[in-house]
Amino acid sequence: MLQKSSLIHTDNLSKSYGSNDAVLRGINLDIYEGEKVALIGANGAGKSTLLKSLVGLHSVSDGSIRALGETFSNSTNSIQRKTICRQIGFVFQRHGLVKRLSALSNVLHGKLGLKNGWRALYQTVAPSIWREEAFRALQAVKLSDKTSMRADQLSGGQLQRVAIARALIRKPRLFIADEPAASLDPAAGHQVMEQFVQLADDRGITLVFTSHDMDHAIRYADRIIALKGGEIFIDEKSSSLSKTDLTQIFHA
């Protein structure tokens, strides 16, 4: 069986803030095309720092990274950052939608930062093909009946699904999700994660997400990377791990 190509590779990646202890220490990992990877760990373990460092949103102190065709060490330059970010769909715990705008308008904002992206600011100037793409993205997250509803009229789970649609309209190679279900009730959280996994599988998109929810990590990821003290403590297939195995990362 052929090994999938590496989408992200790190070599001895480390990150410190000033003279403080290192947040990340000697991180060596590969994330492969089409994988679904959960980054887990206690608060302060470095999950979000690693997630953002992998795609050049945070500078690093030592080591090197190859991500989405770009190689960098201490920091990316502006051209590299744009090249990488054009290939990523981002979803964060705070979805960042514009509450007074419709679901469709918010999805169109996923085109911002792309070529002629300014035309996505308002539906009236957006190309018709983009509006069609935004509608199809909302269809994909099962919100085609909410296109004209303002964001402030939607539930928390619906808001995150709009955020997923906004990420999807970028036609990404990689989904980056930082605690995407943390603010949702259990049912809505599972619905959001199921949506992510289905879209990633259907469209061959690599998914990397952080979570404190061990059930989410085991159920929705192919592979779990656990950080402890700024280092990789566990890197295993999710099918070989149990919740009991993972609880040890939260204890000294």
> pLDDT tens digits, residue range 81-100?
888 989 999 988 777 899 99
Q: 1 pLDDT exceeds 50?
A: no
What confidence category does residue 24 fall into, taking pLDDT thresholds of 50, 70 and 90? very high
What confidence category does residue 2 fall into, taking pLDDT thresholds of 50, 70 and 90? very low
| pLDDT value for 153 | 95
Lowest mean pLDDT among 15-19, 45-49, 191-195, 232-236: 15-19
Do 46 and 23 contact (CB within 8 A), yes or no? yes
Q: Cite the residue boundaries of each domain of the chain with CATH code 3.40.50.300.
A: 1-87+173-252
Q: Where are the beta strands (DSSP E) in the chain?
A: 6-15, 24-32, 36-40, 62-67, 70-72, 88-92, 174-178, 206-210, 223-228, 231-237
| pLDDT value for 252 | 52
User: What's the whole-number mean pLDDT along residues 26-33?
Assistant: 94
Lowest mean pLDDT among 101-115, 129-143, 199-213, 237-251: 237-251
Q: Which residue is it, tokens 């920091």?
A: 75
User: What's the whole-number mean pLDDT along residues 205-220?
Assistant: 92
| pLDDT value for 119 | 79
- pLDDT, tens only, 128-156: 999 999 999 999 999 999 999 999 999 98
* More confident call, 32 vs 118: 32
pTM equals: 0.89
What is the sign of the dihedral through the CA atoms of 99, 100, 104 and 108? negative
Do 62 and 13 contact (CB within 8 A), yes or no? yes
Q: pLDDT exceeding 70 applies to what percent of the chain?
A: 97
H helix or E strand, kind and range, residue 186:
helix 186-203
Do 235 and 205 contact (CB within 8 A), yes or no? no
Alpha-carbon gap, residue 111 to 121, rounded angstroms = 9
Q: 251 pLDDT exceeds 70?
A: no
| pLDDT value for 204 | 93
Q: Is the CATH code 3.20.20.70 the one for domain 1-87+173-252?
A: no
Do 35 and 176 contact (CB within 8 A), yes or no? no
Question: What average pLDDT is seen over the chain?
Answer: 89
